[in-house]
Amino acid sequence: MYQQNTTTPKELFGVLAAGAVVLLVVHTLGRFVYTPLLPYLIDDGQLTAPEGAAIATWNYFGYLVGALLAIRWHRVSHIRVMLPAFLVLHVITTLVVTQTDNLTAISASRWLNGVANGVVFVQAPALILEWLVLRNRSSMSGLVYIGVGLGLLVSSGLVTGSADWLEGAARWWPVALTSIPLAIWGVFRLSRLELEDHQRGSDDGQAATTTPLIDRASIPLFLSYAGAGLGYILPMTFLPLLARLELEADHWLLDGVWLIVAVCTIPAAWLWNKLGTNMGDIPALKLNFLIQLAGVLAAVLLPGAIGLMLCAALIGSTFLGTVLLTQRIGRALHPHQGPRLSAAMVALYGFTQMVGPWLTKHWLDAGGTLASAFGIGVAALAFGLIFVFFVPRPEAWHARTVIFD
């Protein structure tokens, strides 16, 4: 059993930094870089807007498959093999899309890239959380998601910085070349984590207790997370494209809207980690949903620059908070489930994210506007917020089960 005093600040920083880097690689250079790239690829004539939405759906479907794989192979011994393997897959599939304009090839590559994203996004934070729990530092777990915020800034710079001298498939080259050294360093550092390959029942190392993953405590949490996934993914996929449709050709927000998202995301993990610690994870999650809801609603009710900026700022500053708070609440409700619980939640999140672009594609094909499609996100976040109020406090839930047992 590791104790808190055996871990130095330098070691903690190194582990969190490695986790942040691998999330930066797969989740921003893999997934979210597509958001600022999409308007350029459409302007280049490589894709149409419905084709772009379809490719996004394939990527998110891959993310769902990756999360399901992580449910099946969730032990430390599995993670030590799968983490490097799927980071390699990320690099290969990103290199593939630098070489082709074929829609089928792009869709297949983005699907496989999504699989890699799903596996790594589950396994890296879950591995680090288990390592932190052994050292009584679980409250620091949310800091690993800082990598996503920094990655959005990196992705924005890579896309806009190369926009004038690359075209079509070649626009993916900066992403591919940046991914390689970061993936190598991140996985090397995480492979050195000292963790035993066994199932623990609780933070004190007692034997695992077999209880259902899905019960009266976790069902409302899963439903709220589903609403969050569908609600945030529309602006995180289509906000720059919406800016291109609503603003004049030389407006600074055409590229600036994604930059706003990126800048607001950078402190978000630290902020919501702190709020959850100070006010409680469930009250913090309610506040988080309210702010997200206001952000997507702004894009619907205030077309133009003001609505776009509000949406970018409010979504950017909240979506990571939803992830880290929900994951932490889930683990508190089922402390023995560990990585398996994380994988199940990411799988559900991935499914609802896949649904978002799919619904948008059909909405656009039916003659709807992209701005009105954001109304789907508003409804989804309202749905999610309602179910947060039905999530029990973990300490109350455990006390109740003890009484009834």
How many other CB atoms are there within 10 angstroms of residue 263's CB atom? 18
The DSSP code for 4 is G
Helix (H) or strand (E) holding 301: helix 281-301
Predicted pLDDT at 356: 86
In sequence order, which residues have a C-beta less than 8 Å from that of residue 13 and are 6 or more positions away? none
Predicted pLDDT at 7: 76
Predicted pLDDT at 339: 66
Strands (E), 236-292: none
Burial letters 156-175, b for 16+ CB under 10 A, else e: bebbbebbeebeebebbbbb
Sequence letter at residue 362? H
Query: Mind listing the pLDDT tens digit of every residue in the chain (405 residues)?
Result: 444 446 788 889 999 999 999 999 999 999 889 989 999 999 999 999 889 988 988 998 998 899 888 878 867 788 889 999 999 999 999 999 999 999 999 999 999 999 999 999 888 988 888 788 788 887 787 788 889 889 988 998 999 999 999 999 999 999 999 999 999 999 999 988 877 654 444 444 443 445 666 778 789 999 999 999 999 988 988 898 899 999 998 899 988 998 999 899 989 989 998 999 899 999 999 999 999 999 999 999 998 999 999 999 999 999 999 988 998 898 888 877 666 777 788 888 888 888 888 888 888 888 888 888 999 999 999 999 999 999 998 877 777 645 444
Give me 134's structure tokens. Answer: 């052994």
Cα–Cα dist 30/347, whole Å: 17
Predicted pLDDT at 98: 96
Predicted pLDDT at 211: 61
Per-residue DSSP letters for 212-237? Answer: -SSSTTHHHHHHHHHHHHHHHHHHHH
Contacts 24+ apart (CB under 8 A), 309-312: 309/253, 309/257, 309/260, 311/235, 311/239, 311/374, 312/235, 312/239, 312/257, 312/258, 312/260, 312/261, 312/264
Predicted pLDDT at 1: 42
For the chain, the straight-line distance linking the first and the last C-alpha, in angstroms and rounded, comes to: 29
Cα–Cα dist 222/141, whole Å: 20
Predicted pLDDT at 295: 96
Q: Cβ distance 179 to 29 under 8 Å?
A: yes
Residue with tokens 């593939």: 96
Cα–Cα dist 302/311, whole Å: 10
Cα–Cα dist 120/87, whole Å: 7
In sequence order, which residues have a C-beta less than 8 Å from that of residue 247 and are 6 or more positions away? 253, 254, 304, 305, 308
Predicted pLDDT at 197: 58
On the 0-12 / 13-18 / 19+ scale of CB atoms within 10 A, 366 is exposed
Sequence letter at residue 220? P
Distances (CA, A) of 196 to 70, 75, 395: 18, 9, 27
Predicted TM-score (pTM) of this structure: 0.80
